[in-house]
Structure 1
Amino acid sequence: MFRAIITSILLVTAVAAQATGLSPTPGKTATFKDWTVGCDNGFACQAVALMPDGPWDDGLSVVVTRAAGTQAPLTIEVAGFTAKTNRYRILIDGKVIHNGSITIGGESIRFVGAEGLKIARAMAKGTLIQLADGSGNKLGVASLSGVAAALRYLDAEQGRAGSRSAVIALGSKKVAAKMANYPVLQIRKMVPTDVLPDATSLVALSEASPCAEERFGSTQDTAYSLGESGQGPLAMVMLNCGAGAYNFSSGIYVGRRDQTGNWKFEPAKFDFGATGFSADSKIPLLVNADWDAAKQTISSYAKGRGLGDCGSSESWVWDGSSFRLTSASVMGECRGSRAWIPVWRADVKIVN
């Protein structure tokens, strides 16, 4: 269900962004049985094992990542356990395929390059991966159902299919892979001031806001300086727009103070997203929003449920007139994974 919500939001906001001429296009994700996979706009990909239905007491976190480019190594990280001895074994369908040393108390193991490729290719031929300690005690398991398809998807998205650099879709073609080309956002540095909207202005804004009916009980609105513009001081307002058990919604406005001292507010402009859980919001909404003045970024973290194993997160940088997407991650499957898949990245350069 939550995956459908995420997909709907991405599609609606992509159309809205294209309509304004600003069109970040985050990558897509796909799910194959017990694995989900996706890539960002620079063809860096990640495949994640999903937990089975039922108890997760012995469920392992297994994440496969690979950046773009012909020389990019494949990495597998296995986590979700605590080592009680200094040795481990990786088993697939009961057969030991790798073993090594680990610090007692360690909680993750990473396999990089040739080692990672060897394990990934063995995973694609199996049904269950298991981690055991040096004494043979089981530390955790993960299903491999769907991993072969997920890794083929990764090969195709990165342009490796049919070449010697592929993980699964091996072939005799010359080594080829798409190269990363992330957008670079050159942003002028913001110098905050002490000029902020007064309480009367904020009350008037809250009473006129479309989310006025969602405000109940004790509410708190916050305002932050966005520095000076040619027409007066600027400020961003996070207006309380309702809360649930684990998600707090904020309507985002930008205000300007005129020469008479009055504040005029307008919904903030975002080049992508900012819809919260509603694709038809009349104002930009962020969930569990946070502002970092030093980086000029605002972030959103919408959890699909309290466990935090599904949802979406984004961050945007303020460019003086609007908020521009710098990163986005999603996990559409509420099945125990804490590893959300990055689907967008932009490099930011702040200049004086």
Structure 2
Amino acid sequence: MSYWTKWLLLISLSSVAAVQAQPLQKTFSDWQITCNNLNSCEVRSIPGNNGLAMTLARDAGNEAPAQLRIDYGNRYSGKLPGGALQDNLLLDGQRLKLDLKHWEVEPHHLLTNHGISIDEFLAQVMDADSIQLLYRADATISLHGLKAALLLMDEVQGRINSTSAWIQRGDRAASNVPPAPALPQINTPLRAPQALTHEESSGLIDFGTWRVNSDSCSLNPLQREVSVSPLSDDKALLLVSCEMGAYNIIDLAFEVSRSQPYISKSITLTLPFSPPERSDNQLELVNADFDAARGELLTFSKGRGLGDCGVATRWQYNGRQFVLAEYAQESTCDAWHSSDQWPMLWESKSAPPQESASVEMQQQ
């Protein structure tokens, strides 16, 4: 195969990947990489429970912003004692030399968005074994797996053999790097649904109590909880707790007519991708919470009681069904960050209601 044929094939495959981005989260030795549906990627050193961690993040597309940060201490550990990072980092036992002209410098946090500074830093550390704190021997960043994680990032973003690649750099112009995929849009309801009356709520809760007794749930009937919320002016959302673990509750969800005779339909949450280390795309409603005013359904599955790992999702009701709006996952339980900082695997944006858009078009 000729050079030009290979090059055109690479561009073609990269373009397809940009349109059909498949979220991922993988571990290479002591590094975890996460890429979302926009091909934005983040790599982080693991484990973070020794207090010191390094993170590299980059968006897809030509001239996309990138960020490198080194942090000592986090929300779980709080502020840790010791001198400033800029004076106390070792690279394989020798002083790490940092040109901090284009860095944001705090005692225990170093950050840069400057492309050349990131390139210079990576060139210095890429083939080393570890970064270590001078005054705390166990606070280390293993560099094993960093190169493999960044190579996968370059591949996902179509940078291989381009001038913007971090690992397998070539002479292909950065302008040929494929753009980020389009951000999915979700139509939101025209307005919030009418609140449930007392009679509607009572009737639906009675129906839900009866319905759960006819289903197979391990939770003791006396411990099961039934909640109802307005889904639309003629439909309600019925949540019934069914399974309980140490810190997670699994619910069953039903779309039910607000008036008798009650007609119910089981609600299934279907992801537009298969999550890491899973072959299916069905999501259980774990610790579910519904905001009727916004039409948003939230789930939050803890990997352990501390809440430093797990899955958090947000679903938007569009008038017909729940559509995935956000999906965040942290597979590594290392007390590094809480759920509001978990890596994002799926993002979207709310679009104006379709009826409003059609009215505007008619008025033009």
TM-score (norm 1): 0.77
Determine the C-alpha separation between the residues in 2 that align with 1:129 and 1:306.
30
> What amino acid sits opposite 2:179 in the alignment?
M
Q: Give aligned-pair identity as a percent.
A: 23
> What amino acid maps onto 1:341 in structure 2?
P
Does the Cα contact within 8 Å between 1:43 and 1:178 map onto a contact in 2? no
Superposition RMSD in Å: 3.2
Q: Distance in 1 between matches of 2:279 and 2:145?
A: 35
TM superposition shift of 1:157: 0.6
User: Aligned partners of 2:274, 2:167: CA distance in 1, in Å?
Assistant: 38
CA distance in 2, matches of 1:235, 1:126: 58
Deviation at 1:342, TM superposition (A): 1.9
Higher strand proportion (structure 1 or 2): 1
Determine the structure 2 residue equivalent to 1:47.
43
CA distance in 2, matches of 1:216, 1:103: 54
Distance verdict in 2 for CA 1:161–1:241, change over 3 Å: same
**CA distance in 1 between partners of 2:256 and 2:160 (Å):** 51
Paired with 2:160 and 2:127, the residues of 1 have a C-alpha distance of: 18
Letter of the 1:287 partner, please give it.
V
1:64 to 45, 56, 69: 56
User: Could you tell me which residue of structure 2 aligns to residue 293 of structure 1?
Assistant: 292
Answer yes or no: is 1:118 the counterpart of 2:120: yes
Structure possessing the higher relative contact order (Cα contacts under 8 Å, 6 or more residues apart) = 1
Whether 1:203 aligns to 2:202 is no
Q: Which position in structure 1 is the counterpart of 2:130?
A: 128
Label 1:275 to 1:151 Cα distance change in 2 as closer, same or farther (>3 A): closer
* Unaligned runs of at least 5 residues, structure 1: 1-23
Which amino acid letter does the alignment assign opposite residue 311 of structure 2? S
Separation (CA, whole Å) in 1 of partners of 2:250 and 2:269 = 16
User: Does the CA-based 8 Å contact 1:75-1:110 persist in structure 2?
Assistant: yes
User: Which runs of structure 2 are paired with 1:230-245 in the superposition (5 Å)?
Assistant: 233-245=234-246
CA distance in structure 2 between the aligned counterparts of 1:337 and 1:343, rounded to whole angstroms = 18
Deviation at 1:251, TM superposition (A): 1.3
Q: Return 152-161 or 308-317, whichever deviates more.
A: 308-317
Q: Distance in 2 between matches of 1:121 and 1:31?
A: 22
Q: Deviations over 1:80-121 (max 9, x none)?
A: 4237656634442233232657456xx543221222333234
Q: How many residues align?
A: 310
Contact 1:128-1:144 within 8 A present in 2 as well: yes
Whole-Å Cα distance in 2 between the matches of residues 86 and 294 of structure 1? Answer: 47
1:190 positional shift: 3.8
| Alignment deviations for residues 218-243 of structure 1 (CA, whole Å, 9 cap, x no partner) | 33222111122xxxx21112211122
Say if 1:76 and 1:111, in contact at 8 Å, map to a contact too: yes
8 Å CA contact 2:85, 2:109 repeated in 1: no
Corresponding residue number in structure 2 for 1:88: 86
